[in-house]
Amino acid sequence: MLSKGTIEIWQANLDDCREWEATYWSVLNTQEQQRANRLIKKQDKTRFVVARGILRYLLARYLNLTPHAITFDYLPRGKPVLAASHHCPKLQFNISHSQQLALYAFAQSDYGIGIDLEQVRAISDLNTLVQRFFTQQESAYIASLPPFLKQRTFFQFWTAKEAYLKATGEGLGGLQHIEIAVSPTNPEQLIVVQPPGVSLYSFTPQHHFLAAVASFDIPSLNYKFYSWNEFVK
């Protein structure tokens, strides 16, 4: 059972779970299977099926149900939430995956939580993206950094913004309305300048990956990390 004030984060290597793809496929609903079938690349389809299957198994673990029994409602911009029929309005969850890595966040909360994950990689149009989606203050901060730090900081800010928007369910359209800054006391920690009242934690789940998780009512940043691959062995 989730402890109040704690966010539990599960990590999974989707490619290492491919052997259970058929099992995960069998627990998806028709809508999820149709969405998977629309993916052209086999690798993308497999990763989607595994990622959503693991989500169902994790929710089943928290709810003491079978994975087949999990049903979802969807917010206007597509964020999945537990269906009202489960009578668990405080069980919040969110998922993000990039390449083979997936992260799942769970909490007991009156408000949504959000998690975002990105593989750190070279971006040819980084300056264009910064000007389009970042505030003037964020853009100026990134421009002041030495070249070897700009790429990593871009992904730090991007995942932080995404985590916030996923917590609210607003979607990508609001990226430029959120302002992120580096904590004056800890250069590895980010803070949300605007809007206020958000707790944000930025971390490195694996080498070459950056992630962030956002919450509105868990200020202590108390996180527990678990590995799905270890759990199913």
The full set of domain ranges for the chain reads: 6-113+222-231, 118-209
What CATH architecture applies to the domain 118-209? Alpha-Beta Complex (3.90)
Higher pLDDT, 221 or 88: 88
What CATH architecture applies to the domain 6-113+222-231? Alpha-Beta Complex (3.90)
Whether the predicted pLDDT of 46 surpasses 90? yes
Span 133-154, average pLDDT? 90
pLDDT of residue 96: 96
Q: Give CA–CA dist 158/117, Å, rounded.
A: 9
Q: Give CA–CA dist 120/106, Å, rounded.
A: 24
User: Could you count the other beta carbons within 10 Å of the beta carbon of residue 131?
Assistant: 13
Q: Give CA–CA dist 97/117, Å, rounded.
A: 6
Question: In the structure, what pLDDT confidence band is assigned to residue 199 with cuts at 50, 70 and 90?
Answer: confident
Span 131-156, average pLDDT? 90
pTM, to two decimals: 0.92
